[in-house]
Structure 1
Amino acid sequence: MNPTVWGSLLGLGTTTGLALVATRVIAMRRPRLESRVLPYVRDLASADRPVAPLEPSNAVAAVFGPLLRRAAEGIERVVGGTPSVRRRLSRAGLEISVHDFRVQQVLWGLAGFGIAAVYGVLRTWTRPTNPLPLLLLCVGAFVIGVLLRDNRLSTQVKQREVAMVAEFPTIAELLALAVAAGEGPVAALARVVRRSGGELSRELGEVLAHIRTGEPVADAFDRLAGTTGVSVVARFAHGIAVAVERGTPLADVLHAQAADVREAGRRALIEQASRKEIFMMVPVVFLVLPVTVLFAFWPGFIGLSLTY
């Protein structure tokens, strides 16, 4: 074959490959049906929506997905604690299942295993030694990675709850103002959720979604009081439920709760400052004070040395 024919075949193959790649990229970028429809279904809570099983988006997921799922099931059998994990996932506001969390634990463990394996290979190349301690190190790194993901989940729960406590006074005051202006509890809640943002607003949005689907207001707030891990929010939800059931003034209850939370935050800040006072004295005592004494006595010491 002459070079012209070879060039034509190479060009045809390259064009065909680029066309296949472009077709695949366009197909992957096309939004799925649920992503186009679910944003317009505002009356359903995201946690209650049925989650369809995700199809493998690439070859790596198709090849290693079943292995990861089996490893996640193995961790579930060994570690257990599914109710605790499910409760913490809900409190952290993560819209993933327990199985997906176990897969993430496996990935974190594999990352730790890979780091330890690379270290073991490099150490073996530089200094040959018994491979058993290195194998135990890799297994230990895998376990540490799994535990770190669980610890990260607990940290996410604490961070979200701290954010909810910080947002609570403002949300409560807005609800109180809306109720005092003449709006009902559901209308005031919808206005506050629509005008605000944050973790507490997301929780109230789920409560509003349950109310709009037909659940009584008191039952929806009782559900929030039973599932949240923040005592302030639990008291707030329980107070609203009682006020709706018994017809007590809701605005006064909200103002009082907001004032209590602000006062509690002020006391916590003062206690934290008193605890930090000792640490603030460390640089003063061990750094500033010796330098001051040195500047005060050094000239006199030099003068005495020159005199003698």
Structure 2
Amino acid sequence: MTGTVPERQIRLTDYETTGEDWSSDLALIEDAAREAGAVALSHFGQDPEVWWKNGGQSPVSAADYAANECLEAILMKARPDYGWLSEESQDDLRRLDTERAFVVDPIDGTRGFLGGQTNWVVSVAVVSRKRPVAGVLVAPALGDVYTAMDGGPAMLNGAAIQASENRGGADGEQLELCLPASLADRFHPRFRERLRRAAYIPSLAYRLALVAEGRLDGTLVKPNSHDWDLAAADIILARAGAALVDDAGRALSYNRSGVRHGTLFAGNRALVDTLLRQFGPSGQS
């Protein structure tokens, strides 16, 4: 399980830039995400009405719907030729015929939001040809804004950020990862000794932002995350010198008919290669 597995290494060509200028799209989605964040924040701590979806497994609140309406009104008015994919909108498959699409989660981390935690975000991305090219994460309760676009730096509140350079090599350096026990148990026992598990973060997008910022070395994501959980954070990670890949080391594709993803790995590219080599199949330790 710990041998070299070249076919699972990250393909760096997946992260080449498009050469296009995405600054106007980035400015648009940042403005929209800030406005939607203000809408969501007005509901924060106010006991908004809650409904349950996915068989009672996932909460959605009046704040989610209000933020979603704000985003859709701003973005689709500005770019009516773009597709639209949102967690809180009925899926319009006409998006599959568009070269570019908005991929949004009006509140990523709704459970935390409803529980009074502050680390929830509004997540907005522009996807072009199946890859994110601009992304924004606004954390209104924290006052933080993460941004990135293809060809530019990843930024937090206007200052460039960079992922941790911790490689997880054989020198015994400790790694701080955020991951569930079910995935931690799939690492080789000797490698597992070097892992320090960070506290659970309800918002997947915010967790990935912490990897981009270098506050976490990396994270693993359980199967069944969705495009809207990932797309904005993906481009922020990429521009911070990190990667988000599947268990074969491939970059993710977005705005396809299927929007769910399998087990995912995030961290700087050398670390992710290490994680892929040390990760075993379910039931093997």
Q: Output the TM-score relative to the length of structure 1.
A: 0.23
Q: Answer with 1 or 2: which has the greater Rg.
A: 1
**Structure showing the higher helix proportion among its residues:** 1
Q: Output the TM-score relative to the length of structure 2.
A: 0.24
